[in-house]
Structure 1
């Protein structure tokens, strides 16, 4: 099976939660769900609408702050950025604009229009695990950033000792790919980023260090 991120053709399969077929890439360490188990667009939209992720939900705001607070060290009020994968309500973009920088919001289902200008930063919280075609999504994100631009990603990473047969993060129907520390090493090398911050678990902040071309 061909890896949807690095295109290595030697991924190995395993059966995970609920007898779902997954693949593991030996090159970039991406784990991805077999395409036959991906949700339909309607199923995705229904799932996201049931999350109730809004500014009144204290737990959700606290979760966003885990990515937003370290990102503030790299963002000032003169910058313009993007909340990539904001869902039905762009809570993070609003939080950022209240105290710091201008922030657009984008979601392929709810807000499918992207800004015309290139951006100083992109923040993507609990979105990477939904990427059906991660190489395409990363091409897009990288092309949106100016050289030296900042990319903040929040997604739970799997570890070498993670019990993949019963990992809670794989239970969500809409989670279709899962990243490892080595996956982000590949992303940095492929797309021209350096690591600015890493909490070792789910938040990583990258800086675009080259003028990247597809």
Structure 2
């Protein structure tokens, strides 16, 4: 089956893996691994999974988890930089952490905070933690987010990265039925080049992309 890559829109895609529930294809251009559209969950079933999440701002373990993105990004921000937490989920927490550090924040989530007005503003930084693996059209959505950044602004992404086919076959990350896109280091390199941004990979599951011109 020849499928179009949801990141780069390339058509050179090859079957990569199959488990008991789904197939996975890899794009030979940007190296994204993705689930074919007909095997994605319907919106109601997808939201039912998210409704089970119990992430809260008062959970120190969850804060430590988010600190993997928060710490390297916070170190690169100017005082008072304004941010957007995209895909904040049912218990927004990263936005609270940045607000505590003096950064005004907006939040957006297609299920829990679907206020499209915040997508018409400009920001100094945008975060998406454990979000991109859920996106059906990551190329289009990440390009739109990058377009909201002021010159010099940062796009901070947190998602686990694909390594080898052998590791992928054993990977717990693919067991979540809402995970449909899996980025590799090469995927982020393609994205940065496509968007004309500079890329930093400060941790195995963190990517920081900076808009040029700041």
**TM-score bracket for the superposition, by shorter chain length:** over 0.9
CA distance in 2, matches of 1:94, 1:59: 15
**Alignment-derived partner of residue 187 in structure 1:** 191
2:210 to 196, 207, 212: 207
Where does 1:1-214 land on structure 2 (aligned, <5 Å)?
1-114=3-116, 115=118, 116-160=120-164, 162-195=166-199, 197-209=200-212
For the residue of structure 2 that corresponds to 1:123, the secondary structure is strand
CA distance in 2, matches of 1:110, 1:119: 21
Unaligned runs of 5+ in 1: none
**TM-score for the superposition, normalised by structure 1:** 0.92
How far is the alpha carbon of 1:50 from its aligned partner?
0.5
CA distance in 2, matches of 1:110, 1:183: 28
The answer (yes or no) to whether the contact 2:16–2:165 under 8 Å persists in 1 is no
The Cα RMSD (Å) is 1.6
Work out the number of aligned pairs and report it. Answer: 210
CA distance in 1, matches of 2:58, 2:46: 23
**TM-score for the superposition, normalised by structure 2:** 0.92
For the residue of structure 2 that corresponds to 1:153, the secondary structure is strand
For the residue of structure 2 that corresponds to 1:70, the secondary structure is helix
The answer (yes or no) to whether the contact 1:192–1:210 under 8 Å persists in 2 is no
Q: 1:41 to 1:103 in 2, by over 3 A?
A: same
Deviations along 1:73-105, one digit per CA (max 9) or x if unpaired, are 112332111011100121111111012311111
Unaligned runs of 5+ in 2: none
CA distance in 2, matches of 1:210, 1:5: 24
How far is the alpha carbon of 1:210 from its aligned partner?
5.7
The answer (yes or no) to whether the contact 1:122–1:152 under 8 Å persists in 2 is yes
CA distance in 2, matches of 1:44, 1:59: 25
